[in-house]
Structure 1
Amino acid sequence: MGMKVLLHVGLPKTGTTSIQYALTESRERIQHSGVWYPKAGISGGTHGHHALAWALYDGDYDLAERLLASMMEESVLCNAAMMVISTERFSFLDNVGVEWLWTRLGDARIVIYLRNPCDFLESLLSQRIKHSTPRRKKWSGTVEEFLEENLSLCDYFALCSRWASVFGWRSLDIRVYDELKSGGRLLPDFAEVIGLTEGALMSAAVHRANAGPGAQATRAKLMLNRIESSMPGRVGKTKLWARLRKMIGSSSMMSRILNLIPYQWVEDVRFNAEQSLRIEKYACINKRLAENASVCGSVKHLYECSATSGREH
């Protein structure tokens, strides 16, 4: 029997960084159980195989071929029974990228964690306000503009169908993040997914770099983004701005100061009732997931939004 391949394809903001960090920290230990998490294809400063995903996203198939070949070679040299590839960037691939993976990996198992759409978009907004990437500036627009630009990401049925049209619905393992995010249940769940004991990934420290700041701190950072984006040249890229951002995210004194700012002075970074209802109506198509695939968890989490409260980013 050949080596099995498991593709963990996201979504973003469903504990992917924690899973990738745990896989990295546990790499040698889980190797003894026949599972290998390749070192090749991992972007610098991260623990996920984002380099492979971005190569496919950019249409750089020569680079993608080299990266995947290195990953396969590693796994064969380790006598792995299963190779695990993890990057939430796979969820952004089009049909061409998905088909490219299928032609080279064949009957891979596709694991995807999905999250309540309102929670997902609010968490994604918080992250984009907080972080920039080489491909994207920090978000400085309105919440409404963000929603209009990203609402389609809540169509989980379209996302899963894109993978199922190539690999087949039976290859998809759809899991509901909302039922796993508390109580430290995510890593045991993923360990079970890859055929390991419940505690196989538990000794790895949970990575918290993607944890969202509080709502008031996020509001303040959005204000800074707007000020910075309106500044000429590199005025807004000084050390002073960097220090101020860091203080907003980590200083208890700054947090107390921020709490004194009247809420009406700063735009809310959470969706209002009307926006939540729009997301819910859009996401209703996700009910069809249960008709086509096995879903581990309640599908209601994936389309009921308006009643959601007390969200954690």
Structure 2
Amino acid sequence: MERKGKGLGRLDEYLSSTKLNQLSHFPEVVTEENYIDLIENRFIWIGTTETLATSMEIIADRLNRFVPTRLDRLNVSDRSVDEKRLDDYREVFQKNNPLEYKVYRYVAEKNEAYQRNASAGYSAPASPPSVSTDAKKITFHTGLPKAGTTSIQMALMDTEQQHRAEGLFFPFDKTFFGTNLPSDRRIDLPPQTDALAYLYHNFRPVSSSEFDWQKIFEDFLQSPDLDHAIISHELLSLESRNLRPGVFNVLARRAQLTFLLYLREPAIWLTSLYAQIIHDPSVPASTGRTFRPYARYIDKGFEGVVAPFIPHGRIDVRSYDRLTSENRLIEDFFEAVGAPGLAPISRAHLHNSRRAGRNSIVFLLSLKEVVPPDHIAKLFHKVLGPADRLDMTPRSLFSADMVQAVAQRWERDREYFREVHHVDLPPATPSEAGPAHLCVDEAYVAELREEVHDDLSELERTWFDLAARNAIGGWENSFS
């Protein structure tokens, strides 16, 4: 500015008389009392220039944008700096802008902490806040999609009367969850999904009633009859990068927080998740490498899912694969929350466990390629039933190099969870090499055609046969 002829005078005089205006960009008037709450609850993130690369990485991730690959230094001044004089100036400047500097330091420490954790590979997690051993407990069941979350939620709803008597608090809405509970059981508590609007950025309540989750937690913490709350939703883990630290910090000062995760071997997990998603008629046919859960897993692994929870409570990781092989998933959950006697005996353990095999999935991809969008839902309805009944191992759906990439990322995850969280997870499943896994068997198509032929119109049969030829020939374009 001096070079442009502004006539500013001495630097120390200029700094001592200058007031910053950065707080005028905040959404509310900033005070000593509210600045932390504003930072934690009104922004997805605030970066600093001295941690510019890290700041851009965090902001890009939370906006689902690509992280810049280059951050060039432009217009750099070539001059010597008298550090002693700068320290003197800095002291005057800080005294002149005390609140602005508190805001800056709070933001800078958050960025520096994130940078330290990232450079350490999250191998040295910060200790969660310590609370009294007789404090109330809150368990966040953050199971991934296709890792038993629905089964556990159904078991909790089945045992609603018993677990309330045991001091367990699991708020839910039977209409939202669509359970077959008797009509004489009054269950008018809020759905778990509404909690996401309070616990995470960028969420809105999904039910018709907007529940005040701050009040719900406050009532629980003050209730003499309840000592353990359970929040269960699969998006707790998938959206962990969007959590609101301020909310978890407040809860962690008054209750013992536990983050309970059931992790599944990722090659099987990703294919199972893909099978569920691809059965939605609105999902585009060509996914493959652009399948977002696959790309996110390769980038961050389950280690990255867990990392945001570490400063706020205890991490409890369990192997979905081992527990389901022993048929003990539900029992293990109730043991984990300290209520082993509540596990229901009559209900089957696995709900929503779609067993669509590679033939089914590749054929559906082919259908999506040839059937107009306004007809696809109707045709899906006719062919999904028989296609869905096939019980084939789907782990080879993705191409061999994609499965290999998942296996390498999984080995890093296994080492991390073994060293940091003291849990052994199973090794990666072997992949089946070769392009055959991107095709369907002719026998499968013949059987499917026989089952659905009479239900199809002449035009639908034409689409069916065209999709069948493509599927038998191979579906490589989706996975290249």
TM-score interval for Structure 1 and Structure 2 normalised by the shorter chain: 0.7 to 0.9
1:163 Cα deviation after fit? 1.0
Paired residues of 1:36 and 1:75 also in contact (CA < 8 A): no
3-state SS of paired residue (2:362): helix
Alpha-carbon displacement from aligned partner over 1:103-152 (angstroms, at most 9, x marks no partner): 342131110111112111111111111247xxxx4352243333763443
Q: Secondary structure at the match of 1:6?
A: strand
The answer to whether residue 312 in structure 2 is matched with residue 167 in structure 1 is: yes
Q: 1:261-280 residue pairs with structure 2 within 5 A?
A: 270-280=397-407
Name which of 260, 273, 283 aligns with 1:138.
283
Closer/same/farther in 2, CA of residues 94 and 188 from structure 1, 3 Å limit: closer
Q: Per-residue displacement from partner, 1:249-270 (whole Å, max 9, x unpaired)?
A: 25xxxx69xx9xxxxxxx9961
Residues 1:245 and 1:96: Cα distance change in structure 2 (over 3 Å): closer
**1:213-259 per-position Cα deviation (integer Å, ceiling 9, x unaligned):** 2332222222233334xx25x3334x444233344325xxxx69xx9
Give 2:263's aligned residue.
114
Q: What amino acid does structure 2 have at the position aligned with 1:6?
A: T
Q: Deviations over 1:18-37 (max 9, x none)?
A: 11111111111122222121
Q: For each residue in 1:51-75, what CA deviation from the matched residue of structure 2 results, as whole angstroms up to 9, or x when unmatched?
A: 32266352449x9871353365478
**Alignment partner of 1:288 out of 389, 413, 416:** 416
C-alpha distance in 1, partners of 2:210/2:288?
Answer: 35
TM-score by length of 1: 0.75
* Gap runs ≥5 in structure 2: 1-133, 181-190, 433-480
1:174 aligned counterpart, secondary structure:
strand
Q: Say which one has the larger Rg.
A: 2
Counterparts of 1:121 and 1:203, CA distance in 2: 30
Aligned CA distance change for structure 1 residues 292 and 16 (closer, same or farther; 3 Å): same
Does residue 236 of the first structure (1) align with residue 363 of the second (2)? no
Deviation of 1:177 (Å): 1.0
Match for residue 369 of structure 2 among 209, 216, 226: 226
Q: Quick check: 154-163 or 10-19, which moved more?
A: 154-163
Q: 2:422 is matched by which residue type in structure 1?
A: S
How far apart are the structure 2 equivalents of 1:87 and 1:113? 12
1:207: how far off? 4.9
> 1:88 corresponds to which residue?
234
**Secondary structure of 1:173's match?**
strand
Tell me the SS of whatever aligns to 2:384: helix
Matched residue SS, 1:187: helix
Could you tell me how far apart the structure 2 residues matched to 1:141 and 1:123 are? 17
Secondary structure of the 2:154 match is helix
1:102 touches 1:167 (CA, 8 Å); kept in 2? yes
Higher RCO structure (Cα 8 Å, ≥6 apart)? 1
Alignment-derived partner of residue 32 in structure 1: 165
Rate the CA distance shift 1:46–1:10 in 2: closer, same or farther, 3 A: farther
Contact 1:128 1:139 in 2 (8 A): no
Measure, in 2, the Cα distance between the counterparts of 1:90 and 1:66.
Answer: 18
Amino acid at match of 2:165: H
CA, structure 1 residues 201+194, in 2 after alignment: closer, same or farther (shift >3 Å)?
A: farther
How far apart are residue 154 of structure 1 and its match?
6.3
- Structure 2 length normalisation: TM-score? 0.51
Q: Which runs of 5+ in 1 are unaligned?
A: 260-266
> Which residue of the partner structure matches residue 158 of structure 1?
304
- Residue 178 of structure 2 is aligned to residue 51 of structure 1: no
For residues 221 and 80 of structure 1, the distance between their equivalents in structure 2, rounded to whole angstroms, comes to 48
Q: Report percent identity of matched pairs.
A: 22
SS at 1:181's partner residue? helix
What is the DSSP-based 3-state SS (H/G/I as helix, E as strand, rest coil) of the residue aligned with 2:215?
helix
